[in-house]
Copies of this chain bind each other. A is one copy, B any other.
């Protein structure tokens, strides 16, 4: 099916500010509350939110096989379960409705009143009901940095790392949409000289700059997804901040992995940008040596060029970009992650979320966490207001941003932001 919505020369009759993340070539999907407190599925062009539930009721999706209430839901799970062909038909149709020369909605004032909202009239929600959330560890630079800091710089990568897209299960209940505050977590830390573990608010609160992809229902339990079909099961991506409490994590994580050091909150950007919209930004990934086992061998350009930033904004102060990274640095691709995740027969459902792990690049300003940027606190990171940070302080807002750009279009994700509140009283 042609991806006509990707036509880079198309323009919308809706206003799209310069450098907007949301030109008519993006057409992401999200869930929002409208001014009338109705929850609906929508998309966004420029700074206009579009109510797809209302559009569907008004007949604009005629000819596409959709249930009547597919967009009148509090999550995208059912729509995502409809599969890639339906996503493409709907995205192409939305693009047609809003392209410059199409007068049908453009000139229908009453319909526009029902369908269009300014961004301050709506409140973004979680876009999916996440069944299972898995976090990978797929950036070689990040794994090397962490291995150097916590284990042995000479043998920073574990022996399995170059053979397996290492991943583990995370907590889905505490995934929250951008704009939700995060309370500094409390927990146990390594014992001091008296042998008694510490207890209190984390002193080493960190962000992790990640992306996450959202899957459609796919394999039955016991079957696997072959790597050359894996991308058919990926609906789209969001920015993902995997908040981490390094002192809690360090004390708890052997031998079963991170738990309370991670599961207090994970923030996502609320608009899911489809894999289709990112198609023009495919690039080759890093060379893989040794060659992966056959079930992980992928043809073609397996990575995506998405510029990524992490920003710290102290309360009442200006922003500082502390990290410039790129999704293309991922050693293991999304398709490799999904093929690996299901090779044992593990089933994947519509709305499942798979994080990339921290995305660090080769240079020091591209490291995707404070742990790496400050090298475990040895090199405080200077901020624009004159202060500096080893880790994240109360009142700080951490913002992730990401976009792909070529000479014609820019496809972005909007903000993935969360402000840190002080720990609750003990």
Contacts and interface: CB of A to CB of B under 8 A. Distances in A.
A260 B340 contact: yes
A252 B168 CA distance: 10
Interface stretch (A51-59, A326-334, A343-351): A343-351
A46 interface: no
A122 interface: no
Interface string A244-275: 01001001111111111001110000000000
B256 A257 contact: yes
A173 interface: yes
Nearest to A345: B264
A297 interface: no
A343 B186 contact: yes
Interface in A400-426: 421, 424
A221 B267 CA distance: 13
Given A264-B344, A344-B187, A346-B260, A254 B158 contact: yes
A79 interface: no
Contacts of A196: 290, 293
A171 B341 CA distance: 11
Given A258-B256, A295-B199, A343-B260, A169 B169 contact: yes
Interface class of chain A by DSSP: loop
Contacts of A131: 172-173
A164 B188 contact: yes
Interface residues of A, number: 62
A297 B69 CA distance: 50
A137 interface: yes
What number of copies of this chain does the assembly contain?
2
Given A173-B348, A344-B245, A168 B265 contact: no
B345 A185 contact: yes
A176 interface: yes
Given A169-B259, A221-B265, A293-B199, A346 B254 contact: no
A171 B346 CA distance: 9
Given A163-B197, A168-B259, A222-B424, A173 B137 contact: no
Nearest to A349: B173
Contacts of A421: 222
Contact of A158 (B255, B263, B295): B255
Contacts of A257: 168, 253, 255-258
Most buried by B among A173, A258, A295: A173
Interface string A117-145: 00000000000000110000100000000
Given A183-B345, A260-B343, 7 more contacts: A158-B255, A168-B168, A174-B346, A183-B221, A253-B257, A255-B257, A256-B258
30 contacts: A131-B173, A137-B256, A160-B197, A163-B191, A164-B251, A166-B252, A166-B256, A166-B259, A168-B168, A168-B256, A169-B259, A173-B346, A173-B347, A174-B347, A183-B221, A183-B222, A183-B345, A186-B224, A187-B343, A196-B290, A197-B293, A221-B265, A224-B424, A245-B344, A248-B344, A256-B257, A257-B258, A263-B346, A264-B344, A345-B424
Interface of A: 131-132, 137, 158-160, 163-164, 166-174, 176, 183, 185-188, 191, 195-197, 199, 221-224, 245, 248, 251-260, 263-265, 290, 293, 295, 340-341, 343-349, 352, 421, 424
In the complex, the 7 A-B pairs of residues with the closest C-beta atoms, listed nearest first = A257-B257, A183-B222, A185-B344, A169-B169, A168-B256, A256-B257, A260-B344
